[in-house]
Chains A and B, each alone.
Chain A
Amino acid sequence: MHILAVGLNYRTAPVEVRERFAIAEQALPEALQQLKATKSVLECVIVATCNRTEIYVVVDRLHMCGHFIRSFMEKWFQIPRQEFTNYLYIYEDDRALEHLFQVTSGLDSMVIGETQILGQMKDAFLLAQEYGATGTWFNMLFKQAITMAKRAHAETTIGEAAVSVSYAAVELGKRIFGQFSKKKVLILGAGKMSELTVKHLYANGADEVIVANRTLTRAEQLASKFNGRACSIQGGISLLHEVDIVISSTGADGFVLDVKQVQESMKKRKNRPIFMIDIAVPRDLDPAIGSIPNVFLYDIDDLEGIVESNLELRRKEAMKIDAMIAKEIEAFRQWLKTLGVSPVIYALQQKSAQIHQDTMESLFKKLPDLDERQAKVIRKLTKSIVNQMLHDPILRIKEMAVEKNGDEAIEMFTQIFALEEQMEKAEAEEQRQNKALEQPSSPEMRMNERSSAGSKSGFAWATVTK
């Protein structure tokens, strides 16, 4: 069996292509059922977000499975395959595992390290599980990927540093003030960028917002969004001693604020720290203001520098997570190997139990005078001998199964203990159970069930309304 990851994302397909492959939440169960019914597919999970549509499948063979998945996509999205094949990526086995872990940890996201995708992956898995689209492999793999992603976010700082200019301003402000409650913000010039920054500051608890603009109507409009007050640019400058944070983007040709004005306001504000953000080009605030004690002046380049440094930090943290992913893939491989040994161990235990049972029956026939207690003691002791004899071989085969030539070891183990018959029986039983499980879940059956349920309820409704 093999694992495949097939999909398109923001890297491989533009939004006008991605939007054609979006799957509405309510359509996902039906999509899962159709996919599960696709030839060669044994297990499946569909992840559909605004940045990606991905299909994870366990298939019984690699040959032609890409074709089958594309056929499913063609049918489901009603798009000819030649229109999307170029945007599609298909990862097999280890690469598919790596991709799954990377996506779940946020390493494949547009904003590296974001955590929203973790929730989306979890939801996609739970939905697939609910509709019976997952089995032994995906139940283990997705749980492992989700747990690892949680651990990655908890043990690294990948999601902590701001990666947008407006958030960088908030982060800087937090380095100075800690929190923004009881802090006043003055906006000089009601531009888009300053609006976004003050929005974040306000959301982080800023107490009061004063908007100063050349056009008072625009200032009033913006101020009303934050329950603030509006005034002229000069009016705003006269309030400098009252405020703790200044965001300036007036678009004026010269400096709006000079050193002298700030020095005077600093005297009035008893040297309390003030954080000034100049996002205007050309700059509004005289750079010399930054030399005044307790004035922290940052311009747009400084903020972009912070964003770049934060992105670099996230990339460094991503390397740590990559190392964690490599370990997880190895752990999953080991687990897969132990899956192969389980039926053999089960067969050995079944065989030994059968031998024990037969021997006991024969013994009790030969010794009919044994009372119940004596029979119990003999049964217990002989069972203990069997278990002790099997303990070490089972332990060894478990160890050998995860080693390089694990398959050969399992084969030899089967031959030595002559377990072929038990294995065949177990396989036949498994197939019978699978068939029994698969039958009601086939789409036709479900459709029939649904239609019959519908007709039943329709009949009931008709009866009631008569």
Chain B
Amino acid sequence: MGDRNEVGGEGLMLTQNWMYDAIIYIYALSLLFYFSDFAQPNRSAKRMGTGLLLFVWGLQTLFLAGKLIEQPAVPLLSVLEFMFLLSWLLVTISLLISLFFKIEYIVFIVNVIGFAVLLLNLFSSPIGEQRLEHWQIVKEILILHVAFAICSFAAFTIGSIFSGMYMYLHRKLKEKQWDDSVRRLPSLEKIDRYANLSIMIGTPLLILSLAVAISSIYMEEKLNLLLDVKVLLTLVAAICYVYYFIKRVSLKHTGYRLARWALLAYTLMVLNFAVNSFSTFHHWIWE
């Protein structure tokens, strides 16, 4: 994936890789169709968007498969690989949602994030291509740590979108603002159920990712790294999500407050992603 960072190459080529370019252009086109449906219900535009998204997914899968054949290692150890895989995961989840559930807006919002991740990847510095392979710990453990993290991040992204939807619809219904978005969104009960399910998947994955990372730190005997800002922030986010479940089970909070809590936890997750520069050992992102 190192060759995809030559922004503004020749003409309309964003990168030196035609497949990466095609993914970005088709993804953008698909989002435009979805946006048309988002702004005003338009089923044919939505169908078109889904078709293009399916094509994007196919290209992304081919791209990843190509990488695997090129270098027979799991493409996870650089920021670019991480982000590309996250984007692929979000596209996969959104396609599954559109296939099995009829939830308006969600596919568009998930893919706006998926596309943003791809674009961030495109405009990030080439120095970011440094891989984590310089770590001496067992490589398999490292891959496991990143894989769990990526999956939990995707699940939390979906969960936070549902939480945001919940807060939006709740406010609209409380304030009696009846409009097209209220008509099209799923019910509060359904949104709450999906948000809970996503967070329920994400939390154990995050804890597993943390556990793997902490055990590897022990193996490396670098205990001082436990006080690293990234480790601490991840711990806080994990605690927030656990607290979310405790409150949920205790039935003391309303759905609205739980949704707010879930969004707060997700903000910590995003912040966690952004503070890599301050981390002593996660500075593989945007150095």
Q: In the complex the two chains form, what is the Cα distance from A322 to B179 in whole Å?
A: 23
A296 close to B173 (CB less than 8 A): yes
Q: In the complex the two chains form, what is the Cα distance from A290 to B176 in whole Å?
A: 10
Least CB distance, B246 to chain A, in whole angstroms: 15
Does A242 have its Cβ within 8 Å of any Cβ on chain B?
no
Least CB distance, B169 to chain A, in whole angstroms: 7
- In the complex, chain B residues 1-56 whose Cβ is within 8 Å of any chain A Cβ: 41-44
Interchain CB contact (< 8 A) of A161 among B44, B183, B252, B256: B183
Residues of chain A contacted by B43 (CB below 8 angstroms): 154-155
In the complex, number of A-B residue pairs with CB atoms less than 8 Å apart: 56
Residues of chain A contacted by B44 (CB below 8 angstroms): 155
A175 close to B176 (CB less than 8 A): no
From known contacts A155-B43, A178-B186, A271-B251, infer whether A293 and B256 are also in contact, taking CB-CB under 8 Å. Answer: yes
Interface-facing stretch out of B187-195, B226-234, B263-271? B187-195
Least CB distance, A235 to chain B, in whole angstroms: 26
Residues of chain B contacted by A172 (CB below 8 angstroms): 173
B178 close to A176 (CB less than 8 A): no
Q: In the complex the two chains form, what is the Cα distance from A350 to B200 in whole Å?
A: 75
Does A251 have its Cβ within 8 Å of any Cβ on chain B?
no
10 pairs of A and B residues whose beta carbons are closest in the complex: A178-B187, A270-B251, A178-B190, A294-B254, A293-B254, A306-B178, A178-B189, A271-B254, A309-B178, A302-B176
Does A332 have its Cβ within 8 Å of any Cβ on chain B?
no
Most chain A CB within a 10 A radius of its CB, from B41, B174, B176: B176
From known contacts A155-B44, A271-B251, infer whether A176 and B256 are also in contact, taking CB-CB under 8 Å. Answer: no
Interchain CB contact (< 8 A) of A157 among B41, B174, B252, B253: B41
The count of chain A contact residues (Cβ–Cβ below 8 Å) is 27
Least CB distance, B51 to chain A, in whole angstroms: 16
Residues of chain B contacted by A306 (CB below 8 angstroms): 178
Q: In chain A, what residue has the closest Cβ to B188?
A: A176
Does B182 have its Cβ within 8 Å of any Cβ on chain A?
yes
Does B164 have its Cβ within 8 Å of any Cβ on chain A?
no
The count of chain B contact residues (Cβ–Cβ below 8 Å) is 25
Q: In the complex the two chains form, what is the Cα distance from A293 to B167 in whole Å?
A: 12
Residues of chain B contacted by A178 (CB below 8 angstroms): 186-187, 189-190
Residues of chain B contacted by A296 (CB below 8 angstroms): 173-174
Q: In the complex the two chains form, what is the Cα distance from A176 to B188 in whole Å?
A: 5
Q: In the complex the two chains form, what is the Cα distance from A40 to B181 in whole Å?
A: 53
Does B128 have its Cβ within 8 Å of any Cβ on chain A?
no
Does B112 have its Cβ within 8 Å of any Cβ on chain A?
no
Does B185 have its Cβ within 8 Å of any Cβ on chain A?
yes
Residues of chain A contacted by B254 (CB below 8 angstroms): 271, 293-294
Q: In the complex the two chains form, what is the Cα distance from A179 to B253 in whole Å?
A: 23
Q: In the complex the two chains form, what is the Cα distance from A383 to B41 in whole Å?
A: 54
Q: In chain B, what residue has the closest Cβ to A295?
A: B174
Does A160 have its Cβ within 8 Å of any Cβ on chain B?
yes
Binding site for B on A (CB under 8 A): 154-157, 160-161, 171-172, 174-179, 270-271, 273, 290, 293-294, 296, 298, 302, 305-306, 309, 313
Q: In the complex the two chains form, what is the Cα distance from A273 to B169 in whole Å?
A: 13
Does B180 have its Cβ within 8 Å of any Cβ on chain A?
yes
Least CB distance, A250 to chain B, in whole angstroms: 22
A309 close to B187 (CB less than 8 A): no
- The 29 sampled A-B contact pairs (Cβ below 8 Å) are A154-B43, A155-B42, A155-B44, A156-B41, A157-B41, A157-B183, A175-B173, A175-B188, A176-B189, A177-B187, A177-B188, A178-B189, A178-B190, A270-B252, A271-B251, A271-B252, A271-B254, A273-B188, A273-B189, A273-B255, A293-B254, A293-B256, A294-B255, A296-B173, A296-B174, A298-B176, A302-B176, A309-B178, A313-B183
Q: In the complex the two chains form, what is the Cα distance from A157 to B180 in whole Å?
A: 10
B182 close to A175 (CB less than 8 A): yes
- In the complex, chain B residues 241-287 whose Cβ is within 8 Å of any chain A Cβ: 251-256
Q: In the complex the two chains form, what is the Cα distance from A182 to B95 in whole Å?
A: 31
Q: In the complex the two chains form, what is the Cα distance from A156 to B43 in whole Å?
A: 7
Other A-B pairs, 5, CB within 8 Å; known A155-B44, A179-B187:
A154-B43, A175-B182, A176-B188, A294-B255, A313-B180
Most chain A CB within a 10 A radius of its CB, from B44, B251, B254: B254
Q: In the complex the two chains form, what is the Cα distance from A190 to B173 in whole Å?
A: 26
Interchain CB contact (< 8 A) of B183 among A160, A270, A305: A160
Least CB distance, B255 to chain A, in whole angstroms: 7
Least CB distance, A39 to chain B, in whole angstroms: 46
Q: In the complex the two chains form, what is the Cα distance from A441 to B151 in whole Å?
A: 73
Interchain CB contact (< 8 A) of B179 among A157, A290, A294, A309: A309
From known contacts A154-B43, A296-B174, A309-B179, infer whether A175 and B252 are also in contact, taking CB-CB under 8 Å. Answer: no
Q: In the complex the two chains form, what is the Cα distance from A431 to B120 in whole Å?
A: 74
Least CB distance, A380 to chain B, in whole angstroms: 45
Residues of chain A contacted by B173 (CB below 8 angstroms): 172, 175-176, 296
- In the complex, chain B residues 202-229 whose Cβ is within 8 Å of any chain A Cβ: none
Residues of chain B contacted by A175 (CB below 8 angstroms): 169, 173, 182, 185, 187-188
Least CB distance, B168 to chain A, in whole angstroms: 12
Q: In the complex the two chains form, what is the Cα distance from A142 to B251 in whole Å?
A: 58
A176 close to B183 (CB less than 8 A): no
Interchain CB contact (< 8 A) of B176 among A154, A177, A271, A305: A305
Q: In the complex the two chains form, what is the Cα distance from A203 to B182 in whole Å?
A: 23
Least CB distance, B48 to chain A, in whole angstroms: 12
Least CB distance, A119 to chain B, in whole angstroms: 22
Q: In the complex the two chains form, what is the Cα distance from A160 to B255 in whole Å?
A: 28
Q: In the complex the two chains form, what is the Cα distance from A374 to B182 in whole Å?
A: 77
Residues of chain B contacted by A160 (CB below 8 angstroms): 183
From known contacts A155-B43, A271-B254, A294-B256, infer whether A176 and B179 are also in contact, taking CB-CB under 8 Å. Answer: no
Residues of chain A contacted by B187 (CB below 8 angstroms): 174-179
Least CB distance, A317 to chain B, in whole angstroms: 9
Q: In the complex the two chains form, what is the Cα distance from A382 to B165 in whole Å?
A: 72
Residues of chain B contacted by A293 (CB below 8 angstroms): 254, 256
Least CB distance, A282 to chain B, in whole angstroms: 19
Q: In the complex the two chains form, what is the Cα distance from A313 to B187 in whole Å?
A: 20
Q: In chain A, what residue has the closest Cβ to B256?
A: A293
Residues of chain B contacted by A171 (CB below 8 angstroms): 183
Q: In chain B, what residue has the closest Cβ to A308?
A: B178
Least CB distance, A28 to chain B, in whole angstroms: 36
Least CB distance, A116 to chain B, in whole angstroms: 22
Q: In the complex the two chains form, what is the Cα distance from A161 to B256 in whole Å?
A: 26
Q: In chain B, what residue has the closest Cβ to A174?
A: B187
Residues of chain A contacted by B176 (CB below 8 angstroms): 298, 302, 305
Q: In chain A, what residue has the closest Cβ to B183?
A: A161
Residues of chain B contacted by A294 (CB below 8 angstroms): 254-256
A271 close to B253 (CB less than 8 A): yes
